[in-house]
Amino acid sequence: MTEAANDISGLSFEEALKQLETIVRELEQGNVPLERSIDMYERGDALRKHCDTLLKSAEAKVEKIQLGQNGEATGTGDLDPQ
């Protein structure tokens, strides 16, 4: 694993998203030299993948509350059973 990838793997979703938003904003301004743009794009892609992985992990942990006939919680089940 490269140092940059290792750096990203330790980021929380919020931290990674904030960095990704900064990269997008800077690239949209168009004031970045080509080589730096390429490096930023590659880091942005790695950040996007990291965010996607964290979201999928969170989705897997989410449970749907099951209610009984009296309206009280009777347990939980998978959010999207397949």
Note the pLDDT of residue 45.
Answer: 97
For residue 7, which of 67, 68, 38, 50 has the smallest C-alpha distance? 50
pTM of the model: 0.70
What digits encode the pLDDT tens for the residues 11-63? Answer: 999 999 999 999 999 999 999 999 999 999 999 999 999 999 999 888 777 66
pLDDT at 1 over 50: no
